[in-house]
Amino acid sequence: MQKIFFKTFGCRTNIYDTELLKSYIKDYEITNDEEVADIVVINSCTVTNSADSGVRNYINGVKRRGAKVILTGCGAVSKGKELFASGIFGVLGASKKSDLNELLKQEKPFFELGNLNSVDKNIVTNYENHTKAFIKIQEGCNFNCSYCIIPSVRGRARSMDEAMILKEARILAQNGYNELVLTGTNIGSYGKDTNSSLGKLLANLGKISGIRRIRLGSIEPSQIDESFREILKEEWLERHLHIALQHTSEAMLKIMRRRNNAFSDLELFNELSSLGFALGTDYIVGHPGESEEIWAEAVENFKKFPITHLHAFVYSPRRDTHSATLKSDVSGDVAKARLKVLQGIA
């Protein structure tokens, strides 16, 4: 029996998707040793140029060992055609996950992207080498921030069926997982298409016997509504939230086509900090339009935020995004210097 190895790049959603892919494998032996694998399935990330480079370098290493390469994840949409042309064995889109086993059995190269409208119908009930379990509650994003490629590779926001999510959580709890991590492309949009909300879902998950802790993936400031505030004091909610600011200049947020507001963001962070939450955030420096004046405003505002963890990075243009059409007026050296300033404050 041929051996298959799964390599995951990127976010928690990809961790979940990899486990789901594994559940469809029936005619191959899943191995944890990539050196002995005949087939390597790469669940890729494409959020930055650096992410693309990491995936490409890994693919080159696998090809040198002689294993077949299957590309899935966000990079399958953004880079799949060129990588398939370069000789990888297969490209698999999100809506085609359940076809992986049968496509491999055909023993001929395949390019199957499918569509960006589907939601997963199966669930994951076990996580090898993990003490906590991940549950994907939604897929896609409607925000269309000017710099972001993700909506074009994940599709528009759509929620998983709530009954299926609750069933998955109950089975995981019965299997000994008392800590859940909710993940998705944009989890704060959960329920917008089903007359529900993230807050309501959390309230129902918190009632499940055996669930002691619920962690959340990144959430947008504009998505913290009253139903979410109602569960903030629940003991099962992890006292750490990651809220994606992306910038602290009002002018820059408008250039980025963000939905949040620097002033209301500060009020929100102060509110959550007063309730005992540790607060992390994402931040992009060096985006086109980040003038000296805008940067100075951003730094002064940033100093006021009660941030305990910062994930900051230098802007990199992504193909087919609005920001990629803007004139780049911040040099790489300046952007790196600004990154160090933020890291020194946080």
Confidence of residue 333 (pLDDT cuts 50, 70, 90): very high
Tally the C-alpha atoms within 13 A of residue 233's C-alpha that lie toward its C-beta: 5
Pair (205, 334) in one structural domain: yes
What average pLDDT does the structure give for the chain?
95
The string of pLDDT tens digits covering residues 186-198 is 999 999 999 999 9
107: confidence class by pLDDT, cuts 50, 70, 90: confident
Mean pLDDT of 230-234: 96
Residues 108 and 217 in one domain: no
Say if residue 151 is in the same domain as residue 289: yes
Count CA atoms closer than 13 A to 199's CA, side-chain side: 11
Q: What does the pLDDT read at residue 130?
A: 74
* Whether residue 23 is found in the same domain as residue 81: yes
Assessment of whether the complete model's pTM goes beyond 0.85: yes
- Residue 322: inside a domain, yes or no? yes
Is the pLDDT assigned to residue 129 strictly greater than 80?
no
Q: What is the mean pLDDT of residues 175-180?
A: 95
Domain count, the chain: 2
CATH number of the domain where residue 194 is located: 3.80.30.20
Region 256-264: what's the mean pLDDT? 97
**Together in a domain, 81 and 197:** no
pLDDT of residue 105: 93
* Mean pLDDT to the nearest integer, 130-155: 94
Does 141 lie in the same domain as 183? yes
Provide CB contacts within 8 A for 341, sequence distance 6+: 299
- State mean pLDDT over 170-175: 96
Last residue of a domain, one of 112, 141, 170: 112
On the question of pLDDT at 112 being above 90, the answer is yes
Q: Are residues 285 and 335 in the same domain?
A: yes
Identify whether residues 80 and 180 lie together within a single domain: no
For residue 34, what is the domain's CATH number? 3.40.50.12160
Query: Domain containing 163: what range?
Result: 133-345
How far apart are alpha carbons 14 and 133 in whole angstroms?
13
Residues 251, 332 share a domain: yes
pLDDT at 128: 77
Domain presence at residue 117 = no
- Looking at the fold, whether 148 and 202 belong to one and the same domain comes out as yes
Please indicate, yes or no, whether residues 55 and 154 belong to a single structural domain of this protein. Answer: no
- Mean pLDDT throughout 73-96? 94
Residue at a domain's end among 51, 81, 112: 112
Rounded to an integer, the average pLDDT of 153-163 is 96
- Cross-sheet strand order for the sheet of 240-242: 240-242, 278-285, 309-314
Q: Which among 134, 157, 132 is positioned nearest to 144, based on CA atoms? A: 157
> Does one domain contain both 138 and 94?
no
Structural domain includes residue 120: no
Instruction: Give per-residue pLDDT as tens, 18-71.
Output: 999 999 999 999 999 999 999 999 999 998 889 999 999 999 999 999 999 999
Which of 112, 144, 164 delimits the end of a domain?
112
